[in-house]
Structure 1
Amino acid sequence: MLIYVAVGDSLTVGVGAWPGSGLVPQYRALASKAANAYVESINFGKAGATTGDILRLVKSSPRLRFMLVRADIITLTAGGNDLIRAAKQFARKPDPHVFPEALRECREHYAEIVNTIRTLKASHGNRYIIRAADLYNPYPKVPEAALWVQRFNRHIDSLQCGNFKMALVYGQFLGREPEMLSADGLHPNKQGYRTIAEQMNRLGYRPLL
């Protein structure tokens, strides 16, 4: 049996899709097939969570920290709500500093989330993998949002090392938003989550398997 701990925002929760068709259950099924073993998933997703919210949870939740230590597979989705907040703020008042400031804060939080998980795992020595996804852009008609997403994705890419890998989602959604997003235009639908899960699955499971 493998233990899979999912950490993150609305995408980890599965907002936008019917129960059982979100990211976590779809990726769990793919991981189970790849490992030829039962995978138990524990979902710590929180709808609306920013990178700051997720960082606080990773640092202060005893239950989450206990499960992260035990986890064989960890997935992380974060950053989307930071973008949404910045976009809404920019829509109210088009300040050119809104997106750069949000990006700086988001990148700092994201790196600290990953480093906190790595530190927890290092003290216990078990093999594990962390799988993240880069961001798609739910605001394709807003140039500032597109630039924000691309810069944030480059930051996630720079953190890839060893057992931390990033699934490439941005290009899969670009130009296909109507078929990938739910009715709210922000969260993936079943197909969108399937695409993210498949991209994570394509990264493989080394050094775990």
Structure 2
Amino acid sequence: MTKPIKYAAVGDSLTFGTGAPENKGFASVVQQLWSERLGADIIRRTYAVVGATTGETLERLLTNAEMRKAIAEADIVTLTAGGNDLIRAAMRMYIQGETRSMKPGMRVFANAYRDLLSELAAVHRTMEREDARIVVADCYNPFPQVRDAVLWISFVNRCIHRCAAAYGGRVLVARAYDAFLGRETDLFADDGVHPNEAGHRVLGECVADALA
């Protein structure tokens, strides 16, 4: 009998499944696809907070013993982070008028993402498994018609790809940006920000393809 594969899903509202029906969110899709493709049962543990920034996810990882144990024991870890950093920085700039630039918020994100991925890799490495992998999703763009959105999401994704590349093949990138581009009408929920059921399916397929 094939040994079950342990999967830890870490992140924000995407990992939580916001926008999709129950058990149809991204992490559930990943679990289903991996089970089918790998021919094994997948045991999933989900650690997701709606609205969490990258820094908040890092703080949770540093302080939550159960979460750290699940990641250490996992064969595969997924991470979604960055979208809420963008939203909060944009709100401070465009709505609250606290700054004339998003650069301070984006610098905070870049440092937090680097530290989060470093801590994830350190905790996961305790298993010393050659086939253990972390899969991070880059950010899709729900507002492709807005020039500033394209600019800053591109910045976020460059940070994600650069941080992942530092770990070689141990950290893989699921290219959500490319998969969603030009399909926004079909893949977003009514809030215009989160994926709908079809969008979560596409995101899950991106992650499964990255692992394959």
Report the TM-score, using the length of structure 1 for normalisation.
0.92
How many positions carry a matched residue from both structures?
A: 204
The answer (yes or no) to whether the contact 2:187–2:195 under 8 Å persists in 1 is yes
Question: Deviations 1:61-111 (Å, cap 9, x if unpaired)?
Answer: 0000011110011000001111111222222238432x2111111111111
SS of the residue 2:211 aligns to: coil
1:135 maps to 139
1:76 maps to 79
Gaps (5+ residues) in structure 1? none
Distance 2:49 2:208 in 1: 23
1:145 maps to 149
CA RMSD of aligned residues (A): 1.4
Amino acid at match of 2:162: S
Spell out structure 1 runs of 4+ moving beyond 4 A: none
The answer (yes or no) to whether the contact 1:87–1:145 under 8 Å persists in 2 is no
2:60 maps to 57
SS of the residue 1:159 aligns to: helix
Q: Which stretch shifts more, 64-73 or 116-125?
A: 116-125
Amino acid at match of 2:14: L
Distance 1:120 1:48 in 2: 24
Give the fraction of aligned pairs with identical amino acids, expressed as a percent: 34
SS of the residue 1:123 aligns to: helix
The answer (yes or no) to whether the contact 1:7–1:45 under 8 Å persists in 2 is yes
1:164 pairs with one of 168, 171, 195? 171
Amino acid at match of 2:143: Y
Gaps (5+ residues) in structure 2? none
SS of the residue 2:123 aligns to: helix
Deviation of 1:138 after TM superposition, in Å, equals 2.1
Question: Deviations 1:38-74 (Å, cap 9, x if unpaired)?
Answer: 0011111110100011000111100000111100110
Distance 2:144 2:110 in 1: 21
Report the TM-score, using the length of structure 2 for normalisation.
0.91
SS of the residue 2:182 aligns to: coil
Trace 1:39-58 onto structure 2 (pairs within 5 A).
39-58=42-61
